[in-house]
Structure 1
Amino acid sequence: PTPTAPEPDEAAEATIEVEEEGSKLFSDLDGHWAAANINKLVVKGVITGYPDGQFKPENHITRAEFATVVIKAYQLQTPSGKVFNDTANHWARDYIATAAGAGLVNGYNATEFGPDDLITREQMAVMIVKVKQLKGTAFRITFTDAADIAAWAQESVATAIENNLITGYPDNTFRPKGQATRAEAVTLVVKSF
């Protein structure tokens, strides 16, 4: 018998259609450098846009928001971790507790996490290296502001750079204390898969 062509998979077609329509989900992503990465995580339900139909890729992202994105992206479900005093009534309490339980985040101290503080690039690098369980190496950071990277983040930043998860800027800076944008955060998570 001659084999016949398989019937198209309806689920695959639906996925393709959703992804193609994803580029039209937000009015502010046309031509944006991170549009494809943003659409990938939106389609997966990891992150959403705003009620006004925009994603606002250049807005900054908080520590709570980034922890939530990482937990959702990696579908982590661990025994509940530490609930900090400042996260007890926070919308992201369970995500932060899961991240703490998985060893991805620490607070500023035993009682404070700073969920609404804007996350820095070095903090994001540490979380991603931890979730990926990447081992540090002797990679040397050559950015002109490498000395500005906190001692607790240096190995993770070097590991993230070496693994092409995060990059610097055209002026040869890393800007470790720089507040990350939603676009940068999403791109880091997508690159980590």
Structure 2
Amino acid sequence: MSLATGLNNVGVIAQAADKSTDTVAFQIMYTTTPVPGLTYEVPSLPATGKIEAFNKTVSLTYPKGNVFIDASGRITDCPIAFTVCDPPGDLPDSYHYLVSQVIKISVSQGVYLLQPGQLTLSFNENVSSSVSNQLAIWYSPDNVWNDNDNYILGGRTDASKKTITAPFQFSGNSEGYYAVFLADRVFADFTDQSEAAWAYSSVMPMWAKGLAEPLPLNRGDYKFGAGDDINRLEFTTILVKGLGLPLENVPSVFRDVYGAPKFIDNAYFGTDYSLQAGGLLYDQEHTPAQYVATALRYGIIAGYPDGTFQPQKNLTRQEAAVILARAANLKLINDGDKAKSSLQKIFTDAEDIQPWAAPSILAAYRAKLIAGLPVEDKTIRFAPNETLTRAQAITMIYRLLEKQKKI
């Protein structure tokens, strides 16, 4: 039998061997309203590619015909349960606000989707649309949100539907907790008097979704570090993480990129990212070597002839344009001189652009992923050999992710 929403009167008739009967009547309250304690369970992974729960406030989608696999890679199956949990007592910090129900998703231990899916959660309808791009789905293994084992999944917000959708894969644990948080704080870098104020609308969403972090040494001054130079490793990390590329599980590819977690070597981001210093981490489980190897595999970056990656080396603006054009899979002009000729009509310093970078700069400029630097006479220059600031880098990547509808 199927239950209607609300109170259902159910009668069960039992018949004995002597044909005598007895009737038991009881009531079942069936509700789709997501109140704490409510659980929705499906016996196995539907082949339709979609599971909806609690009046569509929770939705899990994945490729049709997808299957579960265990830790050995063998096909398996198990029920999937969605449970609405009580709100946590402690939140991550004073800059993150819970704006949704906490949803526990449970499967058998060690189970994964063969092909990852997407999780969509509804958030509070009273959240202002003006900050919708500062929302992110968070994952917690234990429903404790103010410790160091949580992970920001990010997501793309639909402000009209009041939902946010993020890439999803089961964690390998038997259960995980998911919720939507609004991130909001004031960084001194983005006041009206700051040179980096122009980057506020790009940097804030990237910070809120866990793709870019303020530099720890600036945190006491409530600064983001927007004007600091960005190095090759941090740019690669933000880019790979934002694109959602599956990480390579390798110890190391270059001899100067170690397999240790990022917070062990304080030189990677040009400052101290250790837990002891209270530094927030891009990712607690994965290593610099994995991010670099992943970018290498997908043809986004390359190393140097001597077998190094030079992770601490600051990026120039023309180097960043080449990496960005690769990540965006932009179509390039094969003739560097021809591209440079086109750039001379745009930038006053096009002569300083190297031929190997000119096609990428032109393509990225036409795709509106990069822009020039204004000059007093209302012309623009590209400044190809100047180092890239964190504000410029994060803005470039934000534009790419927006273009690809990943943020």
SS of alignment partner, residue 190 of structure 2: coil
What are the residue-to-residue correspondences of 1:141-156 with 2, within 5 Å? Answer: 141-142=343-344, 143-156=347-360
Task: Specify the alignment match of 2:285 in structure 1.
Answer: none
* Aligned counterpart for 1:47 among listed residues 212, 215, 219: 212
Structure 2 stretches lacking a partner, 5+ long: 1-54, 58-99, 101-121, 136-181, 263-287, 403-407
Question: For the residues of structure 2 that align with 1:103 and 1:41, how far apart are their CA atoms?
Answer: 23
Task: Answer yes or no: is the 8 Å Cα contact 2:230–2:314 preserved in 1.
Answer: yes
Farther off after superposition, 157-166 or 144-153: 144-153
- 145 and 29 in structure 1: CA distance in 2 versus 1, 3 angstrom threshold: same
Whether 2:194 is the aligned partner of 1:34: answer: no
What are the residue-to-residue correspondences of 1:86-97 with 2, within 5 Å? Answer: 86-89=256-259, 91=262, 92-97=288-293
Task: Answer yes or no: is the 8 Å Cα contact 1:121–1:178 preserved in 2.
Answer: yes
Q: So what's the TM-score if we normalise by structure 1? A: 0.84
Structure with higher helix content: 1
Amino acid at match of 2:190: L
Task: Answer yes or no: is the 8 Å Cα contact 2:211–2:241 preserved in 1.
Answer: yes
Amino acid at match of 2:312: D
Structure 1 stretches lacking a partner, 5+ long: 1-6
Question: For the residues of structure 2 that align with 1:80 and 1:141, how far apart are their CA atoms?
Answer: 40
**Paired residue total:** 186
Q: So what's the TM-score if we normalise by structure 2? A: 0.42
What are the residue-to-residue correspondences of 1:1-193 with 2, within 5 Å? Answer: 10=100, 11-13=122-124, 19=134, 22-31=183-192, 32-51=197-216, 52=219, 53-77=222-246, 79=248, 83-89=253-259, 91=262, 92-137=288-333, 140-142=342-344, 143-171=347-375, 172-192=380-400, 193=402
Question: For the residues of structure 1 that align with 2:355 and 2:258, how far apart are their CA atoms?
Answer: 29
Q: How big is each residue's C-alpha offset from its partner over 1:139-188, in whole Å with a ceiling of 9 and x where there is no partner?
A: 61121221222222111111011111111111221111110111000110
Question: For the residues of structure 2 that align with 1:132 and 1:94, how far apart are their CA atoms?
Answer: 20
Task: Specify which structure has the bigger relative contact order, considering alpha-carbon pairs within 8 angstroms and separated by 6 or more residues.
Answer: 1
Question: For the residues of structure 1 that align with 2:386 and 2:370, how far apart are their CA atoms?
Answer: 13
Amino acid at match of 1:98: T
The structure number with the bigger radius of gyration is: 2
Question: For the residues of structure 2 that align with 1:22 and 1:88, how far apart are their CA atoms?
Answer: 32
RMSD between aligned residues: 2.6
Question: For the residues of structure 2 that align with 1:26 and 1:42, how far apart are their CA atoms?
Answer: 11
